[in-house]
C-alpha cells in the first residue's frame, strides 16, 4: 500500500514539468489526485495515464490567480472525492528574462498574480476546508530564487521570496490546527520553464547545469520525491520550512 493511500491531493500546475511529476508520484503512492492546470490537453492526458495505470485522478481547469477558480477547484475536489488532505501550490511562471529597467509592468503584474496571489488563494481555499476537517498538509513551490537573488529575473525572484514568507506566516497561523505548511526551493530542474529561460541554447543550458555544485540540473522526479516526503507523515514534525532541493546551491 502506498504512503498516500486514502489521501486526496489537489495539485496546481500539474499538467507539465514538476507538477506533473508530483501528481504521477502521488497517484503511484495511492493518492486520489486532482490535476489542475490551464493546459487542458496535457492535464487530461496525465489523468488518462494515471487511470490507465490503475490510479485515481481527475482534471479540473483552474487559473490559480483567479479567486473564483480556486474556490471552484476546491468545491469540485470535495464533490468528487469528499475531502482534501494535501494541497500543492505548484503553478508558477518565470516572466520575462530582462533587467528591471526594461521590465514591462503588465508582465510584472502577471508574475505576481500567478506566483504570489495564486499561492495565497490556493492556501486560503485549502485552510478554509482543512480547519473544519481537522488538519491537512500544504506544500508551496518556491525556488532557490526564493532564497537568493537572480539577475534579470527580479519579479520572479521577488515572488518566490514572497512564497517563503507566506509559507512561514501561514505555518505559524495554522500550527495548532494540525495543518503543516512547507515550501520546496528547487534549483534548476529540466522542464519547459528551464528550456524557455535558456531559450534551448546548449551553452546557456550548460551554464545553468553548472549553477548546481553537483554539476547538473535536477529532474522533476527528484523534486516529486521531496514533495512526497513533505506531504506524507514522514515529515510530521516539519512546518514552516523552505527546503532547498538544489544540488548544493544554497550551501555556497
Nearer to ligand NAD, 67 or 178 (CB): 67
We find the least distance from the C-beta atom of residue 144 to ligand NAD, in angstroms, to be 7
Torsion of CA 93, 244, 136, 163, to 10 degrees: -40
**Residues interacting with ligand NAD, by CB under 6 A?**
12-13, 15-19, 37-39, 63-65, 90-93, 114, 118, 141, 143, 186, 188-189, 191-194
Give the strands of the sheet with 179-186, arranged side by side.
Answer: 56-61, 32-37, 8-12, 86-89, 136-141, 179-186, 242-245
Nearer to ligand NAD, 135 or 215 (CB): 215
Q: Which of 59, 81, 156, 174 is catalytic?
A: 156
Q: What angle do CA 92, 95, 97 make, to 5 degrees?
A: 135
Residue 55 three-state SS: coil
Per the DSSP assignment, residues forming a β-bridge with 35 are 11, 59
Nearer to ligand NAD, 55 or 92 (CB): 92
- DSSP letters, 22-53, are HHHHHHHTT-EEEEEES-HHHHHHHHHHHHHT
We find the least distance from the C-beta atom of residue 30 to ligand NAD, in angstroms, to be 23
Q: Where are the alpha helices (DSSP H) in 90-153?
A: 105-112, 118-133
We find the least distance from the C-beta atom of residue 162 to ligand NAD, in angstroms, to be 12
Q: Please confirm, yes or no, whether 103 is among the known catalytic residues.
A: no
Nearer to ligand NAD, 179 or 223 (CB): 223
DSSP conformational letter for 174:
H
We find the least distance from the C-beta atom of residue 164 to ligand NAD, in angstroms, to be 12
Q: Are 112 and 155 in contact (CB under 8 A)?
A: yes
Q: At which residue does the C-alpha cell 490556493 appear?
A: 122
We find the least distance from the C-beta atom of residue 16 to ligand NAD, in angstroms, to be 4
Backbone angles phi, psi at 200, to 5 degrees: 55, 25
Nearer to ligand NAD, 116 or 179 (CB): 116
Residues with a catalytic annotation lie at: 156
Amino acid at each position: 500500500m502506498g504512503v498516500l493511500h486514502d489521501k486526496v491531493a489537489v495539485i496546481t500546475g500539474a499538467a507539465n514539468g514538476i507538477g506533473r511529476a508530483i501528481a504521477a508520484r502521488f497517484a503511484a503512492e495511492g493518492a486520489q489526485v486532482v490535476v489542475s492546470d490551464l493546459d487542458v490537453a496535457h492535464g487530461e492526458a496525465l489523468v488518462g495515464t494515471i487511470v490507465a495505470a490503475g490510479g485515481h485522478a481527475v482534471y479540473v481547469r483552474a487559473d490559480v490567480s483567479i479567486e473564483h477558480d480556486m474556490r471552484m477547484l476546491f468545491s469540485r475536489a470535495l464533490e468528487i472525492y469528499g475531502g482534501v488532505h494535501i494541497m500543492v501550490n505548484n503553478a508558477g511562471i518565470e516572466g520575462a528574462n530582462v533587467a528591471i529597467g526594461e521590465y514591462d509592468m503588465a508582465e510584472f503584474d502577471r508574475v505576481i498574480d500567478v506566483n504570489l496571489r495564486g499561492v495565497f488563494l490556493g492556501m486560503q481555499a485549502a485552510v478554509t476546508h482543512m480547519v473544519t476537517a481537522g488538519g491537512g498538509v500544504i506544500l508551496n513551490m518556491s525556488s532557490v530564487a526564493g532564497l537568493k537573488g537572480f539577475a534579470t529575473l527580479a519579479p520572479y525572484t521577488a515572488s518566490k521570496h514572497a512564497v517563503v514568507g507566506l509559507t512561514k506566516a501561514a505555518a505559524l497561523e495554522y500550527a495548532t490546527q494540525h495543518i503543516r505548511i512547507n515550501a520546496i526551493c528547487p534549483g534548476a530542474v529540466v522542464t519547459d520553464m528551464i528550456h524557455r529561460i535558456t531559450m534551448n541554447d546548449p551553452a546557456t543550458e550548460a551554464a545553468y547545469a553548472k549553477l548546481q555544485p553537483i554539476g547538473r540540473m535536477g529532474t522533476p522526479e527528484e523534486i516529486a520525491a521531496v514533495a512526497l516526503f513533505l506531504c506524507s507523515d514522514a515529515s510530521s514534525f516539519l512546518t514552516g520550512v523552505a527546503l532547498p532541493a538544489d544540488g548544493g546551491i544554497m550551501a555556497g
